Structure formats: C-alpha cells, structure tokens
Amino acid sequence: MTDFQQENHKLTADEKLNLLVEFGTRISSELRLDKLLDIIARQITRMLNVGRCTIYLKDIERNELWSKIAQGKGLEHTEIRLPLDGNNIAAIVARTGQTINLQNAYADDRFSMAIDMVTDFRTHTLLTIPLKNNTGKVLGVFQVANKADSTPFDNKDEGILLLLATLAASSIEIAKLYQDIHVAQLETIYRLAVTAEYRDQQDTRAHLKNISIISYLLALALGMTKKEAELIKNASPLHDIGKVALADNILLKPGRLSDEEFEIMKSHTVYGGRILEGAHSKVLQVAHKMSLYHHEKWNGTGYPKGLKGEDIPLEARIITVADVFDALCVSRVYKKAWKTDDAYLYILGEAGKAFDPRIVAAFKKIYSSVRKLYLNQTPQTQESPAIKAEAPKAPVSIPQKPLPPQP
C-alpha cells in the first residue's frame, strides 16, 4: 500500500499483542476501502517493522492488480496497476496462492525494479503472501519489504503476515462490497437526474457536473466537513427530479408561460418531494430537501411553501445559488446564455432577497474557481442581461431585473 519510516525500536511480545488487538478492532469498524487499506498497511508496517507495505487487490474485470501509493516521491494517492497474468512477484502470488520470500530481490528475475525507480525506494528483501477469504479465494496480495534490522524475512514473519491477511480479508471484502453499493447508488442517482434534466438541457452532463462542483465548493466555503460537502455534491443532481412529471408542452415551451402553465411548472418541486420522501439513504434525504425547496427564497416569496430565511433547509439554499448561476450561464430552449460575470453580478445582487446572504458571501470566495469551469464551455450565444430583448420563461423564482432563466 505504501512506504513508511522504519522504526528501529524492536517491539516486545506485549506490544505486538496490543497491536494485534488494535488491528482487529480498527479494521472491523472501517467501511471505506481506501481508509481501511491505509490502516492495514500502517499496522503491518509497525508490527513487522518494515520499510514498505503494499496491498494489491484483484480487479477481475481488467485482469489486473491495483494499489494506491500513499507516500513516496510526490505520488500521493497515485494508483498503480500490474497485469494479473504478468511475471512480477505480486501477480505470481495472486495467481498461484503461494507465498514468495526473496532474500535478495534484485537478484531474482521475477522482481521488477520499475516501482522502485518511480518511488525512490530500494528493495532488498521482499515477502509476498496471498490475501484469501474464508473460502480460499485469492482477493489480492500483501507485500512487505526491508526489515529495519536488515535481516531476511523468516518463517515467523510469514506466519504473522498470513495471520494479519486472514484477519483483514473479511473486512476488505465488506469494504469492497460497500464501495460497489455506494458507486451503484451514485450511478443510479446520476441516471435519474439525467432523465429529469435532458428534456430541457442541451448539455445535461455539463449542467449536472457544474452544479455538483459549485454546490461542493459552496459547502466547503461555508465550513462544512468534506463528508458533508460530498453529500451535498452527490445529492445535487436530483434537485429537479420532479420535472419527469411535467408535460413537454410546458417544460419545453419556447416563450413565456401563462399563469396557469406557470402554476403547473411550479408543481415540479412538489413532485420531486413526493418522489424522494421517506428515503433511508442520506444522499436521497438531502436530495429530498433540495428538490422540494430549491425554489424557496430567502425573503419568503418563493414556492411551494413560501418559506423564509433559515426555515429553508441549508441544502436547498446551497443548490439554489448553484443552479440559478449555471442556468443563467447556459442556453436553453427559451433563453440564450448569459456571460459568467453578468451571472455572478446577478447572484450578488440577490443577496438577502432570493438568496441567503451567507451563501452569496461564500459564492464570492469561490467565484474564481467557479469561473474556470466555464472557460472551456462555449455556449452558442452569450448575451448580457442589460441588452436582453425578450424576457425568458415565467417560472423564475427571482425578481424581474431582468428575469433570469427557469432553473
């Protein structure tokens, strides 16, 4: 998994036992795969007092072994991949399920110096053991290099590493399953969002990407934790899921909506709330608040409930700013795109009216980063609000000066 500083201190039997107990306790409660692998690598490094511990896992679909370097010559979090059918030590152990112990790595033809060359590390002794689950299936390999006392790895070292691999295997399988479920959930969310958005968006991918990034940056600028900001980012694409319930003759109407049509358009917030209500997933719970309340205004003149100020959920206040800004900057069937700086000034001007002043202040902090998102996105036409000849559609939750687009 990674390189670590070697410790010259030789652990006592009691210290090793304590580390073993700590090892089991820590890995059993960690569901994040990257974090789990990092914990395992650090614990193995301490217990065996080695210069490097690398954990490779199988990627069956790509027929590869993969690992992430956490430390080493500026390659933090860089993923390395090896062919599973290759002649390197890790691949051989992963295929055969047999332990390989090299007393002089560079003298063995099976050892590849490529990773040493890019990580500025010289491997002398190398111990590689298979990582197997309780059915004997090989999930990957554990590999350690260079004992601090410069002695070769012995049978005792092999036994300890095999024991640690046995203890870790089930936790790694659970974490991988959890990661797969999380990825599947996010993919489902994205595809649901595309279903709602593509009907009135020329570039759905860009829109979803933009609002996700802006929402994430806003959350961080507001002092949220990275974990909280990730929830905001992952939920944001679903804010308009209620559009799936609207007819094309209203959603895609190129001109101003009638009062009756506008009331129907406003109902997409209620439909979105109904679709997502009662969800157990934290991401969908956040998305529920966004979809139901993203047209509420700070001054209480929004819809569907006319909430005011901090009665509006924070998640909705965040997505409102992100969504309106992006909606202003892109073309839709009923409007042309605004210049990003004009859209920025509009957001600032609505502080305390349409938008939470605190979120607008956060938007000012991140605007230089936001602006870069749009440098490589060239809309067909950009116009300044000062020279707009025709007001866009009526379903807009912002004062008429001039009317921005329907979010």
- Cβ count near 77 (within 10 Å): 9
Asked if residue 140 belongs to a domain, the reply is yes
Check whether residue 283 and residue 158 sit in a common domain. no
Provide the mean pLDDT of the chain: 80
Point out the domain boundary residue: 177, 212, 234. 177
Asked if residue 184 belongs to a domain, the reply is no
Asked if residue 399 belongs to a domain, the reply is no
Q: How confident is the model over 227-280, as pLDDT tens digits?
A: 899 999 989 988 888 888 878 777 777 777 888 888 888 999 998 898 888 888
Q: How confident is the model over 168-208, as pLDDT tens digits?
A: 888 888 777 777 666 666 666 666 666 666 555 555 667 78
User: Using CA atoms, how far apart are residues 9 and 5, in angstroms rounded to an integer?
Assistant: 12
User: Using CA atoms, how far apart are residues 78 and 71, in angstroms rounded to an integer?
Assistant: 9
Contact 385, 338 (CB under 8 A): yes
Check whether residue 333 and residue 209 sit in a common domain. yes
Print the domain residue range for 96. Answer: 2-177
Written as one string, the DSSP assignment of 237-255 is: GGTTGGGGGS-HHHHT-SS
Number of domains in the chain: 2
Task: For 93-106, give one letter per residue: b (16+ CB within 10 A) or e.
Answer: bbeeeebbebeebe
- Residue 105 maps to which CATH number? 3.30.450.40
* Whole-number percent of the chain with pLDDT over 70: 75
Check whether residue 168 and residue 203 sit in a common domain. no
Check whether residue 47 and residue 134 sit in a common domain. yes
Q: How confident is the model over 13-59, as pLDDT tens digits?
A: 666 666 666 666 666 667 777 888 888 888 888 888 888 888 999 98
Point out the domain boundary residue: 129, 147, 177. 177
Check whether residue 152 and residue 114 sit in a common domain. yes
- Would you place residue 146 in the very low, low, confident or very high pLDDT band (cuts 50, 70, 90)? very high
- Would you place residue 70 in the very low, low, confident or very high pLDDT band (cuts 50, 70, 90)? very low
Q: How confident is the model over 357-404, as pLDDT tens digits?
A: 999 999 999 999 999 988 866 444 444 443 232 333 333 333 333 444
Asked if residue 404 belongs to a domain, the reply is no
Q: How confident is the model over 342-367, as pLDDT tens digits?
A: 999 999 999 999 999 999 999 999 99
Asked if residue 190 belongs to a domain, the reply is no
Asked if residue 403 belongs to a domain, the reply is no
Check whether residue 147 and residue 206 sit in a common domain. no
- Cβ count near 258 (within 10 Å): 12
